[in-house]
Amino acid sequence: MWRPSVSVLKRRFSIDEDEDNEEVEEEARRRMRTPSPVREDVAELRGKIQDIKSTFGAIGTHSKSIIPTALKNILQKHEFADAEEILNIAETPKSKAEADAFVALVGGRFVESIAVSSNGSWAFITQVEAYLRGRKEIDDCANNTITIEHPSKPKFIVEHKREYQNQWLEAKIYFKNFEFLVTACLCGNYNDHDFDAFLGASLGNRLALNDYWRVYVPLASTPVVRQSRLLRNFTKRASGFDWHLKSQRFYDNGFSTACALSLHALDGIDSIVAIGSLLLNWKVSNQEDKQKLKSILFNVKELSNMDENAISNCVERVKELSLVKGKKLAVEIALLILKNEVIKDTDYVEMFKALISSRLKTLNSQAIRQKRYLLP
C-alpha cells in the first residue's frame, strides 16, 4: 500500500492545531485513493458480480425461467438443473473403457443442454464432440490445451480461434480431463424472440468472449446419435471413435453436421465424393471391399471408357483427366488400392481437404438455409 513520504508527514504535523483538520484529512484520503485504472476494473468486476447474482439467482428461484421464449415450443416438457449438481458423480476416466463410459454419461447430458451467460445470452446445444486431453495413448486426435486445467466442475468457455487469415469463435465445455466442443446449437438473448442456428465448430460472432457462463442440463437423458468426430485427419488411431453425440430428434429432422465417413450413403452425392468418403471410412475401420470399390469406380462417368482390367493404365490416364484436384486424388487412391499399393497418410489428409471438406460445409449450410432446426 502506498504511504506518504516523511516530508509530507513533517509538513502535516507543523500545521496549527486550531486549523480545521478536515481539509488535511480529505487530502490524505485523496492521496490514498486507488489509482483510476484499478478503480475502473474493480467497478467493472462489481458490475459483473451483480449481473451474475441477478441472472443465476433468478434461475435458482424459478428454474423454468431458463427456457428462452424463442424455444418454448421445442422445450415444452424439458426441466433443467445445474450441470454441476447432476454430473458431480462422474469420475475422471483412466482407461479407454472408462473414457467411453464418461463420454456416454457426461456428453449425453450436454446434448440439449442450455448454456446461460451473465449478460443474458443463451446457447441451446444440440451436438457435442468429446476429446480426451493429455492422454495421447488413448485419444491422439485431441489438442493439448495448456490454458485450461482439468476443472472439477463443467466450465463453458467461448474461445477465439485463428488459423492463417481465418478467425472464428468456438464454444467448449471443459470438465475433468475432457473437452466437449459444441458443434451445433441455437443462440440468442433472453431479451429477444429470435435466434441464430449454427452447424460446425464456428459460431460466428453471436456469443460474447468474456462472459461468465453456466450450463444447465436436462433432468431426463436425451436420446442421442453417435458418429465420428469432425476431424481433418482420419489417419490417426482414434479417428474412428464415435465420440460425436447428436440430439436424435434434431438429427432425424436434418439439423446435424454432415459426417465425412458416411457421405457415401447419402442420396444425391457426387459419385467421386462418395468414393472419397468410402476410402476414409475404410482407412478408419482398417477394412476394404475391393469388389464394391471396383463396381462403384467404373460406374463413374469420367471413367466409363477405361478398361477396368488394366488398372495400371487407368492410373496414368486419370492424371490426364480434366478433374479438380480433390476428385483426381480420390480416383488415384482408389485405383492404387485396387493395385494393392500402399497409400501415404498425407494423401488421405489432402483428399479430405480438397474434396470432402467443402462438401460438408455445403450440406451444413443447406440444412440451416432449409431451417431444419425448426422441429415439427
What spatial distance separates the first Cα and last Cα of the chain, rounded to whole Å?
64
- Do 133 and 219 fall into the same domain? yes
213-218/195-199 β-pairing: unpaired
Alpha carbons 167 and 291: distance in angstroms, whole number: 44
* Residue 186 · residue 22 · CB < 8 Å: no
Half-sphere exposure of 74 (CA within 13 A, CB side): 21
Mean pLDDT, rounded, for 53-78: 74
Domain boundary among 201, 234, 257: 257
Expressed as residue numbers, the domain containing 31 is 1-36
When pLDDT is cut at 50, 70 and 90, the band that residue 299 belongs to is confident
CB atoms < 10 A from the CB of 156, how many? 25
pLDDT in tens, 81-93: 999 988 988 888 9
3-7, 49-53, 275-279: least confidently modelled range: 3-7
52-56, 189-193, 194-198: least confidently modelled range: 52-56
- Do 281 and 232 fall into the same domain? no
Burial annotation 240-264 (CB, 10 A radius, 16+ → b, else e): bbbbbbbbebbbebebbbbbbbebb
Q: What is the pLDDT of residue 309?
A: 61
Distances (CA, A) of 226 to 27, 107, 149, 212, 251: 68, 10, 27, 30, 10
Q: Give a yes or no: residue 289 inside a domain.
A: yes
Domain boundary among 227, 257, 287: 257
| Phi/psi of residue 244, nearest 5 degrees | -110, 110
Alpha carbons 287 and 75: distance in angstroms, whole number: 42
CA angle 57, 58, 60 (to 5 degrees): 65
Q: Is the pTM of this model over 0.85?
A: no
- Do 204 and 337 fall into the same domain? no
For the chain, give percent helix, strand, coil, nearest 5. 40, 20, 40
- Residue length of the chain: 376
76-80, 178-182, 280-284: least confidently modelled range: 76-80
pLDDT in tens, 205-214: 777 777 899 9
Reply yes or no on whether the pLDDT at 256 is more than 90.
Answer: yes
- Do 149 and 294 fall into the same domain? no
For 193, residues 6+ apart whose C-beta sits below 8 A from its C-beta are 69, 70
- Do 128 and 17 fall into the same domain? no
Q: Residues of the chain with pLDDT > 90: what percent?
A: 55
Helix axes 325-338, 290-297, angle to 10 degrees: 140
Q: What is the pLDDT of residue 114?
A: 97
Q: What is the pLDDT of residue 291?
A: 87
Q: Give a yes or no: residue 42 inside a domain.
A: no
The overall average pLDDT reported for the chain is 83
Pairwise pLDDT comparison (280 vs 20), residue with the higher score: 280
Q: What is the pLDDT of residue 51?
A: 52
Alpha carbons 121 and 370: distance in angstroms, whole number: 25
Q: Give a yes or no: residue 53 inside a domain.
A: no
Alpha carbons 58 and 148: distance in angstroms, whole number: 29
When pLDDT is cut at 50, 70 and 90, the band that residue 63 belongs to is low
Pairwise pLDDT comparison (316 vs 236), residue with the higher score: 236
11-15, 41-45, 49-53: least confidently modelled range: 11-15
Q: Give a yes or no: residue 57 inside a domain.
A: no
Mean pLDDT, rounded, for 312-318: 69
Number of domains composing the chain = 3
- Whichever domain contains 216, its CATH number is 3.10.300
For 293, residues 6+ apart whose C-beta sits below 8 A from its C-beta are 275, 278, 334, 337, 338
Pairwise pLDDT comparison (256 vs 49), residue with the higher score: 256
Q: Give a yes or no: residue 374 inside a domain.
A: no
- Do 231 and 111 fall into the same domain? yes
Q: Give a yes or no: residue 268 inside a domain.
A: yes
Domain boundary among 257, 272, 307: 257
- Do 150 and 172 fall into the same domain? yes
Distances (CA, A) of 8 to 1, 4, 14, 298: 16, 6, 10, 94
Reply yes or no on whether the pLDDT at 17 is more than 50.
Answer: no
Q: Give a yes or no: residue 50 inside a domain.
A: no
- Do 235 and 268 fall into the same domain? no
- Do 22 and 71 fall into the same domain? no
Q: What is the pLDDT of residue 3?
A: 39
pLDDT in tens, 117-170: 988 999 999 999 999 999 999 999 998 766 678 899 999 999 988 888 888 899
When pLDDT is cut at 50, 70 and 90, the band that residue 46 belongs to is low
Distances (CA, A) of 339 to 29, 290, 309, 313, 332: 86, 10, 11, 11, 11
Three-class DSSP category at 285: helix
Alpha carbons 178 and 6: distance in angstroms, whole number: 57
Q: Give a yes or no: residue 204 inside a domain.
A: yes
Mean pLDDT, rounded, for 290-296: 86
Reply yes or no on whether the pLDDT at 263 is more than 90.
Answer: yes
Q: What is the pLDDT of residue 16?
A: 42
- Do 217 and 84 fall into the same domain? yes
Q: Give the three cell numbers for residue 303.
A: 471413367
Three-class DSSP category at 124: strand
* Residue 142 · residue 131 · CB < 8 Å: yes
- Do 6 and 86 fall into the same domain? no
Alpha carbons 222 and 217: distance in angstroms, whole number: 10
Pairwise pLDDT comparison (352 vs 306), residue with the higher score: 352
Pairwise pLDDT comparison (31 vs 210), residue with the higher score: 210
Reply yes or no on whether the pLDDT at 305 is more than 50.
Answer: yes
Q: What is the pLDDT of residue 188?
A: 93
Reply yes or no on whether the pLDDT at 319 is more than 60.
Answer: yes
Alpha carbons 230 and 248: distance in angstroms, whole number: 18
- Do 279 and 341 fall into the same domain? yes
Alpha carbons 199 and 362: distance in angstroms, whole number: 11
Distances (CA, A) of 206 to 50, 123, 209, 250: 23, 10, 10, 21
